[in-house]
Amino acid sequence: MSKHLIMFEHQGASGIETTDAPEFTSHENMPGWKARAVEDAGIFMFQFEIEPGAVEYPIHTSDEAWLAFVASGHGTLYAGDAEENRTEGVRYQAGDFITFKPNTPHGWLNGNEKSLILIVKPA
C-alpha cells in the first residue's frame, strides 16, 4: 500500500507523519479508468490510472482550472463544444503538461499502454 508522508514544522525542526494513501477505485463506472485523490496543503491532487482499451472519457467541463502531468503512457486529448461533440484532438504522451482553463470542454482516449496522469488544482 502507498503512503502519504506529511512533513511539518514543530519548534524549529521538521517532523514526518505517515498515513495510508487512498487506494485506487473505479472512476464513475468508466471501465478501464481508476482514480484516487488527496487534498492537503491547499492543493487537490487527482491521479488517473488508465488501462489500454479503456472506454473513452466523454467530453465534459469543469468550472475550475486544472494542471495535469502525464507521468506515463499516451493517448488523445479531445477538445469539444457545448453539445459535448469533439472538435479536435491532439496526442499526449509521457512528460507532457496539460492546462485546462475553466469551462473548456475536453475528453480523453487512452492509447495501447497503461497511462498514469496526475491532475492538480487549488483546494
- HEC assignment per residue over the chain: CCEEEEEEEECCEEEEEEEECCCCEECCCCCCEEEEEEEECCEEEEEEEECCCCCCEEEECCCCCEEEEEEECEEEEEEECCCCCEEEEEEEECCCEEEECCCCCEEEEECCCCEEEEEEEEC
Q: Which pLDDT does position 28 carry in this prediction? A: 78
Q: Which pLDDT does position 92 carry in this prediction? A: 97
pTM for the whole thing?
0.89
Q: Which pLDDT does position 81 carry in this prediction? A: 92
Cell reading at 122: 487549488
Q: What is the largest CA-CA distance in the chain?
A: 55
User: In 3D, which of 45, 21, 60, 51 has the Cα closest to residue 33?
Assistant: 51
Q: Which pLDDT does position 66 carry in this prediction? A: 96
The string of pLDDT tens digits covering residues 40-94 is 999 999 999 999 999 999 999 999 999 999 999 999 999 999 898 999 999 999 9
The string of pLDDT tens digits covering residues 110-122 is 999 999 999 999 9
Cell reading at 76: 488523445
Instruction: Answer left, alpha or beta for residue 9, where phi above 0 means left and psi between -120 and 50 means alpha.
Output: beta
